[in-house]
A and B are shown apart, each in its own frame.
Chain A
């Protein structure tokens, strides 16, 4: 039998590389602040992707950048990570 491909559709999917090897289930990969998926966008944005990126802390915790910055900009935050209350230090983006 001879098959001729007349046309085809490419389908792609993207994910942030959060460094957590949790590729099996996409269950809990949400920003702890807004509870929206990392691949979604923060409540202030409309379009996911490079315009609403993630931010990594040296403590290994990950958030939507906009959510984290909103928190850090309050005095109540004492510039601490919302997860572990350690001083927030932004980690170098590991690609």
Chain B
């Protein structure tokens, strides 16, 4: 008896294995249907030349009705990109991970969106409230009520 999320994720995984990921995105591990890791790098000209980041997806049994918990990995010597929407603990303020999540989105679609978020970055800086946020941030970024105040970066 597999859950709804497991069936949908099995389909996504099969697609990744048969068609591969978009350029710059690679599957690191997907040993089960609760936690997947990807590496993500920005192709072409950008502020993140030669930098490779690791993205973690955590799924609950309600996926894809409920959004995945997505963040950059900041353990094992890995670091989150310096970006106005990415906190130093790896949490990401992006509307599609929160109030604009849609069940027709997919893991790969989220990776591509975050890749282009990095690609269009004009200035490498942390969110203004970074220090305050990471002091009290919950383990799961889905528990944070982000304010999506700036669509331009």
Contact = CB atoms under 8 A, between A and B. Distances in A.
Interface of A: 32-36, 43-44, 67, 70-71, 74, 76, 78, 82-83, 85
Contacts of A32: 103-104
A29 to B, nearest CB: 14
Interface string B28-65: 00000000000000000000000000000000000011
A34 B9 CA distance: 9
A43 B104 contact: no
A76 B64 contact: no
Contacts of A71: 65, 103
B99 to A, nearest CB: 7
Given A34-B7, A34-B8, A76 B104 contact: no
Interface of B: 4, 7-8, 11-12, 64-67, 99-104
Given A76-B66, A76-B67, A33 B7 contact: no
B65 A70 contact: yes
A80 to B, nearest CB: 8
Given A33-B103, A78-B99, 19 more contacts: A32-B103, A33-B104, A34-B4, A34-B8, A34-B64, A35-B8, A36-B7, A43-B4, A43-B7, A44-B4, A67-B103, A74-B65, A76-B67, A76-B99, A76-B101, A82-B102, A82-B103, A83-B102, A83-B104
